[in-house]
Amino acid sequence: MNSQTEKLLIAGPAGAIECAIDRPAAERVPRGVAVLCHPNPTQGGTMDNKVVQTLARAFVQLGYRAVRFNFRGIGKSEGVWDEGRGEVDDALAVIAAQREAGLPLALGGFSFGGYVASRAALRLSEGEKPERLALIGPAASRFDMAAVPADSLVVHGEVDDVVPLSAVLDWARPQALPVTVVPGVGHFFHGQLPLLKDIVVRGWH
Protein backbone atom coordinates (compact mmCIF):
# COMPACT_ATOMS: atom_id res chain seq x y z
CA MET A 1 0.00 0.00 0.00
CA ASN A 2 2.93 2.30 0.77
CA SER A 3 6.59 2.17 1.77
CA GLN A 4 5.58 1.68 5.40
CA THR A 5 3.61 -1.51 4.68
CA GLU A 6 5.16 -4.46 6.50
CA LYS A 7 5.11 -7.83 4.73
CA LEU A 8 5.46 -11.11 6.61
CA LEU A 9 4.61 -14.80 6.42
CA ILE A 10 2.69 -16.60 9.15
CA ALA A 11 1.95 -20.30 9.56
CA GLY A 12 -1.43 -21.36 8.16
CA PRO A 13 -3.35 -24.62 7.82
CA ALA A 14 -2.15 -25.13 4.21
CA GLY A 15 1.33 -23.67 4.66
CA ALA A 16 2.63 -20.12 4.86
CA ILE A 17 0.17 -17.20 4.58
CA GLU A 18 1.43 -13.89 3.17
CA CYS A 19 0.32 -10.83 5.16
CA ALA A 20 0.62 -7.07 4.72
CA ILE A 21 0.32 -4.83 7.78
CA ASP A 22 -0.31 -1.09 7.87
CA ARG A 23 -0.14 0.78 11.16
CA PRO A 24 -1.54 4.09 12.38
CA ALA A 25 0.89 6.95 13.05
CA ALA A 26 3.53 5.96 15.59
CA GLU A 27 2.28 8.39 18.22
CA ARG A 28 -1.19 6.81 18.23
CA VAL A 29 -2.04 3.96 20.58
CA PRO A 30 -3.71 1.36 18.33
CA ARG A 31 -7.48 1.29 18.75
CA GLY A 32 -7.66 -2.32 17.60
CA VAL A 33 -6.63 -4.82 14.95
CA ALA A 34 -8.57 -5.08 11.68
CA VAL A 35 -8.22 -8.30 9.65
CA LEU A 36 -9.38 -7.82 6.05
CA CYS A 37 -10.32 -10.53 3.51
CA HIS A 38 -9.91 -10.16 -0.25
CA PRO A 39 -12.21 -11.09 -3.18
CA ASN A 40 -12.41 -14.43 -4.98
CA PRO A 41 -8.91 -15.72 -5.79
CA THR A 42 -10.22 -17.68 -8.81
CA GLN A 43 -11.19 -14.35 -10.37
CA GLY A 44 -7.96 -12.50 -9.69
CA GLY A 45 -8.67 -11.37 -6.13
CA THR A 46 -5.64 -10.58 -3.95
CA MET A 47 -4.87 -8.60 -0.82
CA ASP A 48 -3.76 -5.75 -3.11
CA ASN A 49 -7.28 -5.33 -4.54
CA LYS A 50 -8.15 -1.61 -4.56
CA VAL A 51 -11.28 -2.04 -2.43
CA VAL A 52 -9.35 -4.05 0.19
CA GLN A 53 -6.60 -1.41 0.22
CA THR A 54 -9.29 1.26 0.65
CA LEU A 55 -10.69 -0.68 3.62
CA ALA A 56 -7.16 -0.86 5.08
CA ARG A 57 -6.72 2.90 4.65
CA ALA A 58 -10.05 3.53 6.38
CA PHE A 59 -9.10 1.38 9.37
CA VAL A 60 -5.63 2.95 9.65
CA GLN A 61 -7.32 6.37 9.68
CA LEU A 62 -9.61 5.07 12.44
CA GLY A 63 -6.53 4.06 14.45
CA TYR A 64 -6.45 0.31 13.78
CA ARG A 65 -3.55 -1.86 12.74
CA ALA A 66 -4.83 -3.13 9.37
CA VAL A 67 -3.89 -6.69 8.38
CA ARG A 68 -4.47 -7.86 4.80
CA PHE A 69 -3.50 -11.35 3.67
CA ASN A 70 -3.51 -13.58 0.61
CA PHE A 71 -5.67 -16.69 0.69
CA ARG A 72 -4.00 -20.05 0.00
CA GLY A 73 -2.43 -20.31 -3.45
CA ILE A 74 -2.24 -16.53 -4.00
CA GLY A 75 1.03 -14.55 -3.99
CA LYS A 76 3.41 -16.13 -1.50
CA SER A 77 0.64 -17.99 0.34
CA GLU A 78 0.97 -21.76 0.02
CA GLY A 79 -1.76 -24.28 -0.78
CA VAL A 80 -4.56 -24.40 -3.36
CA TRP A 81 -8.11 -22.99 -3.69
CA ASP A 82 -10.54 -24.80 -1.39
CA GLU A 83 -13.90 -23.39 -2.58
CA GLY A 84 -14.27 -21.18 0.49
CA ARG A 85 -13.85 -23.80 3.23
CA GLY A 86 -10.08 -23.62 3.68
CA GLU A 87 -10.13 -19.89 3.06
CA VAL A 88 -12.18 -19.43 6.24
CA ASP A 89 -9.51 -21.49 8.03
CA ASP A 90 -6.87 -19.15 6.57
CA ALA A 91 -8.71 -16.12 7.97
CA LEU A 92 -8.97 -17.75 11.41
CA ALA A 93 -5.21 -18.49 11.35
CA VAL A 94 -4.43 -14.83 10.55
CA ILE A 95 -6.79 -13.64 13.29
CA ALA A 96 -5.15 -15.97 15.83
CA ALA A 97 -1.64 -14.82 14.83
CA GLN A 98 -2.31 -11.09 14.58
CA ARG A 99 -4.85 -10.23 17.27
CA GLU A 100 -3.45 -8.56 20.40
CA ALA A 101 -4.58 -9.18 23.95
CA GLY A 102 -6.65 -6.28 25.21
CA LEU A 103 -7.26 -4.81 21.75
CA PRO A 104 -10.60 -5.17 19.94
CA LEU A 105 -10.73 -7.17 16.70
CA ALA A 106 -12.46 -5.75 13.64
CA LEU A 107 -13.19 -8.06 10.72
CA GLY A 108 -13.78 -6.90 7.18
CA GLY A 109 -14.03 -8.24 3.67
CA PHE A 110 -14.89 -7.42 0.08
CA SER A 111 -17.06 -9.68 -2.11
CA PHE A 112 -15.92 -13.30 -1.46
CA GLY A 113 -13.94 -11.81 1.44
CA GLY A 114 -17.23 -10.66 2.94
CA TYR A 115 -18.46 -14.25 2.88
CA VAL A 116 -15.22 -15.42 4.54
CA ALA A 117 -15.46 -12.71 7.22
CA SER A 118 -19.07 -13.67 8.01
CA ARG A 119 -18.14 -17.35 8.37
CA ALA A 120 -14.96 -16.67 10.38
CA ALA A 121 -16.93 -14.47 12.82
CA LEU A 122 -19.41 -17.29 13.31
CA ARG A 123 -16.65 -19.75 14.20
CA LEU A 124 -14.88 -17.57 16.75
CA SER A 125 -15.75 -18.40 20.35
CA GLU A 126 -17.79 -15.97 22.44
CA GLY A 127 -14.78 -14.31 24.05
CA GLU A 128 -12.98 -13.98 20.70
CA LYS A 129 -15.79 -12.45 18.62
CA PRO A 130 -14.97 -9.33 16.58
CA GLU A 131 -16.29 -6.04 17.94
CA ARG A 132 -17.84 -5.38 14.53
CA LEU A 133 -17.78 -6.39 10.84
CA ALA A 134 -17.36 -4.27 7.71
CA LEU A 135 -18.66 -6.07 4.62
CA ILE A 136 -18.28 -4.41 1.21
CA GLY A 137 -20.19 -5.89 -1.74
CA PRO A 138 -20.59 -9.23 0.12
CA ALA A 139 -20.97 -12.21 -2.23
CA ALA A 140 -24.47 -13.15 -1.06
CA SER A 141 -25.52 -14.49 -4.48
CA ARG A 142 -22.52 -16.82 -4.83
CA PHE A 143 -21.70 -18.14 -1.36
CA ASP A 144 -23.64 -19.10 1.75
CA MET A 145 -23.20 -15.96 3.82
CA ALA A 146 -23.63 -16.37 7.56
CA ALA A 147 -25.95 -14.13 9.53
CA VAL A 148 -24.00 -11.29 11.14
CA PRO A 149 -24.48 -9.05 14.20
CA ALA A 150 -26.98 -6.20 13.93
CA ASP A 151 -24.30 -3.49 14.08
CA SER A 152 -22.37 -4.83 11.07
CA LEU A 153 -21.52 -2.21 8.42
CA VAL A 154 -22.69 -3.45 4.99
CA VAL A 155 -22.02 -1.34 1.88
CA HIS A 156 -23.18 -2.27 -1.62
CA GLY A 157 -23.26 -0.65 -5.03
CA GLU A 158 -26.69 0.00 -6.54
CA VAL A 159 -25.72 -1.34 -9.98
CA ASP A 160 -23.41 -4.16 -8.87
CA ASP A 161 -23.24 -6.55 -11.86
CA VAL A 162 -21.28 -9.25 -10.00
CA VAL A 163 -23.41 -9.56 -6.85
CA PRO A 164 -26.89 -8.13 -7.47
CA LEU A 165 -28.11 -5.73 -4.80
CA SER A 166 -31.30 -7.81 -4.59
CA ALA A 167 -29.28 -10.83 -3.38
CA VAL A 168 -27.72 -8.80 -0.57
CA LEU A 169 -31.11 -7.42 0.44
CA ASP A 170 -32.55 -10.96 0.44
CA TRP A 171 -29.72 -12.01 2.81
CA ALA A 172 -30.09 -8.89 4.99
CA ARG A 173 -33.90 -8.82 5.21
CA PRO A 174 -34.45 -11.77 7.62
CA GLN A 175 -31.82 -10.23 9.92
CA ALA A 176 -33.39 -6.73 9.72
CA LEU A 177 -29.84 -5.68 8.79
CA PRO A 178 -29.41 -2.19 7.27
CA VAL A 179 -27.46 -1.95 3.99
CA THR A 180 -25.80 1.27 2.83
CA VAL A 181 -26.46 1.51 -0.93
CA VAL A 182 -24.20 3.73 -3.04
CA PRO A 183 -26.20 5.02 -6.04
CA GLY A 184 -24.91 4.32 -9.54
CA VAL A 185 -21.91 2.31 -8.33
CA GLY A 186 -20.82 -1.16 -9.50
CA HIS A 187 -19.07 -4.01 -7.71
CA PHE A 188 -15.57 -2.52 -7.71
CA PHE A 189 -16.57 1.04 -6.72
CA HIS A 190 -14.68 2.47 -9.73
CA GLY A 191 -14.19 6.20 -9.27
CA GLN A 192 -15.85 6.07 -5.85
CA LEU A 193 -13.13 4.61 -3.61
CA PRO A 194 -12.67 7.89 -1.66
CA LEU A 195 -16.43 7.89 -1.01
CA LEU A 196 -16.28 4.25 0.12
CA LYS A 197 -13.45 5.11 2.54
CA ASP A 198 -15.51 8.01 3.94
CA ILE A 199 -18.58 5.76 4.37
CA VAL A 200 -16.53 3.24 6.36
CA VAL A 201 -14.83 5.90 8.51
CA ARG A 202 -18.09 7.76 9.22
CA GLY A 203 -20.07 4.58 9.74
CA TRP A 204 -17.59 3.06 12.17
CA HIS A 205 -17.26 5.83 14.76
pLDDT of residue 142: 93
Establish if 24 belongs to a structural domain. yes
How many Cβ atoms sit within 10 Å of the Cβ of residue 49?
19
3-state secondary structure of 182: strand
Q: Which domain holds residue 28?
A: 6-204
C-alpha pair distances (Å), 99 with each of 4, 130, 137, 163: 20, 10, 25, 30
Note the pLDDT tens digit of each residue in 110-150: 999 999 999 999 999 999 999 999 999 999 999 999 999 99
Establish if 97 belongs to a structural domain. yes
pLDDT of residue 107: 98
Establish if 126 belongs to a structural domain. yes
Establish if 1 belongs to a structural domain. no
Report pTM.
0.97
pLDDT of residue 70: 98
3-state secondary structure of 156: strand
Q: Which of 204, 110, 90 is nearest to 152 (CA)?
A: 204
pLDDT of residue 150: 96
pLDDT of residue 1: 62
> How many domains does the chain divide into?
1
| Residues of the chain where predicted confidence (pLDDT) is lower than 70 | 1
For residue 134, the domain's CATH number is 3.40.50.1820
pLDDT of residue 22: 97
